[in-house]
Structure 1
């Protein structure tokens, strides 16, 4: 990322608050002008007031200093107030833009990214940029303003000395550029590695039970230790170049300060410079040294922010899906009539998942897709929901191409219950309401009753206000599944999609939920994806999939007569049930 691109990206977030920023810069101008004027006045104070014993002017001068100090303090407090509001809003805008862009990106992009890395872009990179906008840039403005104003004063005090000071300042300010490229690349690498560490922590902290169950505590601790060792290497390199970028200007300015003080002392002894001018010159020069010191801190921080902005831009510059021509919402009537015509699908790597599928799902029917893992069953659901688009063929919704139906409108007709239930650390009521944000309490309770979870909820002390915990961790698997079913039903869907919705449950809980689902078959079209066959027994139509193709279709009894893959599944299921019964006895 070039400096111009970085500046343009920063301006994007400063621009909405430009008038407030302008007022803040005015306040900062008052601040460094007052301080520089105070230092410059020392020449007059020493030569024309103190050495000449002029008490009246001495008192007047300090009265002016006091009034100026009050104005200075007032501006400082007002600026701090605006900084506080400006900083929090900048951080909010950064995170909002990143989060919103992620929500609008295709499903395929999100599935390729690691959660830990994305979280580090929110928590670390956005915070680094916010720090640059709120702290580093104002400090840079103060330092540059002080350098310019102090330079003008030094030039007026002694043009001869200033020529040497100017040459030294050029060396001090340009020395960090010697390491700018390495500093930027090492900071980017450090940000990237922080993302990898975040991913490792996110995965392993969420797998706490599995790690303890398999006795992997020492193993994963060792893995983390190795990653931390690599982190030390990456961080040491980044920190070294940051430190050396700060150190070199300080060393150069220290040597320059000694040379300037030596030369100024000679000029005083030769009578070519007054004592007051020497005092004022030295104090102004020391303040310039402090400004230079700030710049050596500012530059590495800006380079870190530049690396962080590059990581954010990597996400923000991912193109959104192109605008599509959709049917008018009023013309779309969804009844649950679905047709796949010669549908094929392949991922970007060329891996074929579905091959020339053609079938029809009737309205208010109960359809089941069965098959071994990896046969393409879940991909069917993803295509129907328009998380992906078919590589070949068409999907028709009531004889209308699904690609021309607004995805949000299409999904509003559909309720989804997946194997992995995503519950938020909110109340049960709020988790159910996620299915329909306009649902009132009556609608929420109606959906809970349909999912047969209402009685359990009202038995809790907080009832519908009971928190579910992180990822629903305060509830059992069956309870989470029923709340997910209630969330799907609260939107009053015309189609209910079940993607391995009961595969992780115990047999008794699974059977209870299946009974609940079967009660809904008269209300909407039900499509179930499963590798178990207990749903297929009740289905109006079952499609058997293998290696991305439909190899059989029919009712349960029809498929048993075909003596194909479905029969092998069925026989295997019965063998497992017999084994369970035998072991129980």
Structure 2
């Protein structure tokens, strides 16, 4: 992932601009309406101070043309206060409703952008980071940013209210207002420093939340191994350490955040005490009337709420932008394997495949493939055998461009795979791996991944070809039965036959089999092998297998070691050669 940018006003401003430009601006009508209601809300707050000043001018018994009579106050005083209260409450409801709709919609859009990028990233890029970190961006980070958007909306409302009340205080007495502003300005510097600390702490906390998510996911996924090997104490120890670190980070943030409101409260107390000291002198000198003082003090009291809101706003914003930076680190990633601008469509062909001097390394300094030259005729079956780490899976992964060769080229039907579109290239291939990947969807939907536009009849025919129809039909709701997370409601052999049904449905000319029959019982393996014979007929097939009995009938057996091809030939020819394959066969068949 990209490096974390420095915490500064400039970076905060850039993040805010981007959040507005790419996600919030499309909902500007709602936000504009909310801003209008905020103006009404702030006006109502300021009007309360003037209403109090008007009421007290009458109650004080002062004389003058603008001083209301007690009879007027008894009638219109309650009307003014209740009316302003209704305006205040109604505008507040409208503000909260409009802001919530805009912010939640923007977050939905951001989640869509993240998920689109997640699915667009290369296979290698998604493997560089733990799945928990990705999940955390969609859960924890979104929650933090949602709170920030809500508080920013409240902050705009508080800012307008603060400005309105400041204008009211300035109207009543400029000297007293100057005292208040000096106190709050001094506090603002300290609040800004707290915000910087929280921004950094928030990034660390969200990263650690991803680690916790990964740990929990590993424990749930590996529950069988955890219980069988009785490593519950080890897992609890790992979890305790992660939760302790989480506690430390969250305490640090909470303790830092806890300083905001007390400081604002102290500032308000200081402002009030200085105002009281100053107002006595100003009343005695005739510079201010008692009724004006009550209006000023009302405005000052009302000022404490928006002042506290603005004081804590910076802290929440910095936490939210810390989360937003992590989300952008996903959104801003650029896939390394892409379709060239002048790429052509690869039309369905016979399925010939050529590897020409192909080299590949995983970026850790090691070399996984070294000068692979291999030509595969259309409709033939080529078996890749060799010890673990020999490069078999890497070779297969290069064909659909899950990885890119560091040197050399790969041709499909005479076309360099880098010169054709990714979509058309991958449409020519079907993959059946050792671990059948199933989703918590119905059997019908899981098979339909092979060809999403297929109708129900095509899907059932594919299941019949894969020897999967009988057990699917016996499920509670047949093909419409959800299969559970990872196909948890099925056996290993049943999951593998669902995967085979996908391949049948796709009907691609090139078939990639990566240990498709390993770890199965004899009955399941027999059913799957029978289905594979139907599936591989007239298709170019690359099959990885450690059990040589499953590839004895392959047209060509390719023996790999250390990223190189060391032997090729049929089973009988390689046995007669008495090389690496013959030694491996002797061990297995004996």
User: TM-score of the superposition, structure 2-length normalised?
Assistant: 0.93
Q: CA deviation at 1:270?
A: 4.9
Report the equivalent of 2:8. none
Correspondence 1:495 to 2:505: no
Report the equivalent of 2:159. 144
Q: Does the CA contact (< 8 Å) of 1:147 and 1:291 recur in 2?
A: yes
Kindly report which structure 2 residues correspond to 1:16-415, keeping only aligned pairs within 5 A, or say none: 16-48=26-58, 51=61, 53-56=69-72, 59-60=75-76, 62-63=78-79, 66=82, 69-133=85-149, 135-321=150-336, 324-329=340-345, 332-415=347-430
Q: CA deviation at 1:333?
A: 3.6
Correspondence 1:560 to 2:575: yes
Q: CA deviation at 1:295?
A: 1.6
SS of equivalent to 2:588: helix
Report the equivalent of 2:438. 423
Q: CA deviation at 1:60?
A: 4.1
- CA distance in 1 between partners of 2:374 and 2:351 (Å): 14
Q: CA deviation at 1:488?
A: 1.9
- CA distance in 1 between partners of 2:367 and 2:77 (Å): 85
- CA distance in 2 between partners of 1:58 and 1:13 (Å): 51
RMSD over aligned Cα atoms = 1.9
- CA distance in 2 between partners of 1:167 and 1:145 (Å): 19
Q: Does the CA contact (< 8 Å) of 2:559 and 2:566 recur in 1?
A: yes
SS of equivalent to 2:450: coil
- CA distance in 1 between partners of 2:279 and 2:519 (Å): 83
Q: Does the CA contact (< 8 Å) of 2:384 and 2:558 recur in 1?
A: yes
CA deviations on 1:487-514 (whole Å, 9 max, x unpaired) are 1221121122111112222233223211
- CA distance in 1 between partners of 2:181 and 2:84 (Å): 30
SS of equivalent to 1:396: strand
Q: Does the CA contact (< 8 Å) of 2:199 and 2:318 recur in 1?
A: yes
CA deviations on 1:221-270 (whole Å, 9 max, x unpaired) are 12211222222222222222222244323322222222223322443355
1:440 is aligned, of 447, 455, 477, to 455
User: TM-score of the superposition, structure 1-length normalised?
Assistant: 0.94
- CA distance in 2 between partners of 1:281 and 1:323 (Å): 67
Q: Does the CA contact (< 8 Å) of 1:332 and 1:405 recur in 2?
A: no
SS of equivalent to 1:468: coil
Q: Does the CA contact (< 8 Å) of 1:559 and 1:567 recur in 2?
A: yes
Q: CA deviation at 1:61?
A: 5.5
2:19 is aligned, of 10, 23, 31, to 10
Q: CA deviation at 1:301?
A: 0.7
Report the equivalent of 1:580. none
Q: Does the CA contact (< 8 Å) of 2:440 and 2:487 recur in 1?
A: yes
Q: CA deviation at 1:70?
A: 4.8
- CA distance in 2 between partners of 1:254 and 1:188 (Å): 34
- CA distance in 1 between partners of 2:577 and 2:225 (Å): 42
SS of equivalent to 1:356: strand
Q: Does the CA contact (< 8 Å) of 2:504 and 2:535 recur in 1?
A: no
Q: CA deviation at 1:129?
A: 1.4
Q: How many residues align?
A: 573
Q: Does the CA contact (< 8 Å) of 1:368 and 1:535 recur in 2?
A: no
CA deviations on 1:279-318 (whole Å, 9 max, x unpaired) are 2111110111111111222121111011111211222222
Q: Does the CA contact (< 8 Å) of 1:427 and 1:467 recur in 2?
A: yes
Q: Does the CA contact (< 8 Å) of 1:500 and 1:530 recur in 2?
A: yes
- CA distance in 1 between partners of 2:534 and 2:125 (Å): 37
Moved more, 108-117 or 527-536: 527-536
Change (3 A) 1:105 1:490: same
Change (3 A) 1:143 1:76: closer
